[in-house]
Structure 1
Amino acid sequence: MLANFLIGLREGLEAALVVGILVAYLVKSGRRERLPQLWLGIGTAAAVSLGFGALLTFRPQGLTFAAQEAIGGTLSIVAVGLITWMIFWMGKTARFLKGNLQHKLDDAVDAGRWAVAVMALLAVGREGLETALFLWAGAQATGASTRPLLGAILGLAVAIVLGYLVYRGALRLNLKTFFSWTGVLLIVIAAGVLSYGVHDLQEAGILPGGNALAFDVSAQVPPSSWYGTLLKGVFNFSPATTWLQAAAWVLFAVPTLVLFVRTAFSRPRPTAPAAPAATPHAVAA
Structure 2
Amino acid sequence: RRTARHLKSELQGKLDAALAMGTGALVATAFLAVGREGLETALFIWTAVQATEDGYNPIIGAALGLLTAAFLGWLFYRGALKINLAKFFTWTGAMLVVVAAGVLAYGVHDLQEAGWLPGLHNLAFDISSTIPKDSWYGTLLKGVLNFQPD
Cα distance in 1 for partners of 2:74, 2:40 equals 22
User: Who is 1:108 aligned against?
Assistant: 18
Who is 1:192 aligned against?
102
**Quick check: 1:179 aligned with 2:89?**
yes
For residue 194 of structure 1, report the CA deviation from its aligned partner: 1.8
Given the alignment of the two structures, is residue 163 of structure 1 paired with residue 73 of structure 2, yes or no? yes
Determine whether 1:128 maps to 2:24: no
SS state of the match for residue 125, structure 2? Answer: strand
Counterpart in the other structure of 2:121: 211
Alpha carbons 1:108, 1:119 under 8 Å: kept: no
- 1:199 CA displacement: 0.9
Deviation at 1:172, TM superposition (A): 1.7
In structure 1, the gaps of 5 or more residues are: 1-90, 241-285
**Counterpart check, 1:201 vs 2:117:** no
CA distance in 2, matches of 1:176, 1:153: 29
Which one has a bigger Cα radius of gyration? 1
Contact 1:109 1:116 in 2 (8 A): yes
Report if the CA contact (8 A) 1:217-1:239 is conserved: yes
Distance verdict in 2 for CA 1:165–1:155, change over 3 Å: same
Deviation track 1:87-109 (CA, whole Å, cap 9, x = no partner) reads xxxx4433444333332222222
SS for the counterpart of 1:207 is coil
Cα distance in 2 for partners of 1:199, 1:166 equals 40
Deviation at 1:148, TM superposition (A): 6.4
TM-score with structure 1 setting the length? 0.39
**Identity of counterpart residues, as a percentage?**
54
Deviation of the 1:195 alpha carbon: 0.8
Question: Cα gap change, 1:97/1:159 in structure 2, threshold over 3 Å: closer, same or farther?
Answer: farther
In the other structure, the counterpart of 1:98 is 8
Query: Mind listing any 5+ residue stretches in structure 2 that lack a counterpart?
Result: none
Cα distance in 2 between the residues matched to 1:152 and 1:186: 20
Q: Relative to structure 1, is the Cα distance of residues 159 and 227 closer, same or farther in structure 2, using a 3 angstrom cutoff?
A: closer
Query: 3-state SS of the aligned residue for 1:214?
Result: coil
Per the alignment, do residues 171 and 212 of structure 1 end up closer, same or farther by CA in structure 2, a change over 3 Å counting?
closer
C-alpha separation in 1, matches of 2:4 and 2:36 = 14
Structure 1 segment 14-93 matched on structure 2, within 5 A? 91-93=1-3
What's the CA shift for 1:184?
2.2
Aligned residue identity for 1:109: L
- Alpha-carbon deviations, 1:13-58, whole Å to 9, x = none? xxxxxxxxxxxxxxxxxxxxxxxxxxxxxxxxxxxxxxxxxxxxxx
